[in-house]
Structure 1
């Protein structure tokens, strides 16, 4: 019988605000998985967005996790220190003919989609609600596209989804040990096409969340990805990039979300009460575990 490998899991917050109860649940579940399996619990700082990342928020992340009683490997991976690795992965995809320059702005894409819908022509959205971007971007005047290309303006770099899928020899699958939004579990067949031509980076800044996360998981030998159910559909993108780049495939466990009074998931942008505010108000780490629905060990 093959001995089961000790798990290597990670918690990867962005230092653009303070942690809330949703983060606490994810961090605790990852820490528990590492402790139970005598494995490793890693912290990864998702600071690719340098415009919003703040040192004080990163420090607060460590303080909050320590207050919760969690222990992690001392070596912390900061994504902003590994742009060359993401750039190398992006270049591999480029050399495969799978990357295109997108010169349309978000506003132009949204306006084109709105106009098409008003005219009765449906325009696809991805699972996060973003608009698909047609490969030819013909909603822009040809002269505008030519001008922007000639001026070599910074452009969004997108995966040619149709071409990428054509390179696959077999269906993309992953093993889900949790539950997807519709109760999906076990062997899941992924469908990256629902995302359209995803963003991989910019011509002046290689690396998007999707590209960075698969590179990081491979470099850190992550065996199980434990994260919120809101990222379930993103696994299809990650499986595609893993297949294209020849990267190992972890198992996935998507956990329930912590919802606010309005029924929406907690988020920094919506002003969710932070762990720091709860602590200042007298909440204890055990209280946090109860608030996120975890059983407290009386021993």
Structure 2
């Protein structure tokens, strides 16, 4: 009888006895365990060999692809060497464009900008002189100390003539259409012997007036100024009759450009001005 099992009393049963030693049964169980372990080792070895083979194949394919890419790169380099002159020319062109963009990044084309200013003038008003004050390239412009005044990069001082005071206010209302406009103010209004009014108008301009940021033409500015002008209720001046027998020569505005030289003290910077003036002679009635 086996020990450890519940012993039951069987009446009339066939007598049996298990005389097989327990060591034999333990040996059989150990053999089955060893056989399972051996099978597991074989399976693990097969998986390891399969992984190594797969990695070897992958490495070989990657090396072949890398060598093909290197061969293609070398071929392209040899083909590119035939156009080395074009490559160097493009590099020089790129450097020149970058240098020009750096040099002209803070430049204002005054001729087209003054044409835009002239496009905002109402009828009967003309510009006599223009003074331009701006900083040298790469140098900061003197900024106002008052927090209510906006930053600026240049200042225009224009002397204008007109027949009526209302035209000056109308023009001031039309100036905000200019690119880079900050503010404008009129002062020193005086009348001459001929009945015309002369005024000095100061216009401040910010960085939006730079060449790259001002693509508008004078015609577009003229159209905007004509749409944006609002009449100001001011007394209408009495028109002065003018009798002319010959065309009056058109006055050419005098433009004075002042560039601030680079200096450590902006308040004591010297100013160099160059004045350009021109006059146009009118022909007789037979023209």
Structure 1 length as normaliser, TM-score?
Answer: 0.18
Structure 2 length as normaliser, TM-score?
Answer: 0.18
Q: Computing the radius of gyration over CA atoms, which structure comes out larger, 1 or 2?
A: 2
Q: Which has the higher contact order (CA 8 A, sep 6+)?
A: 1
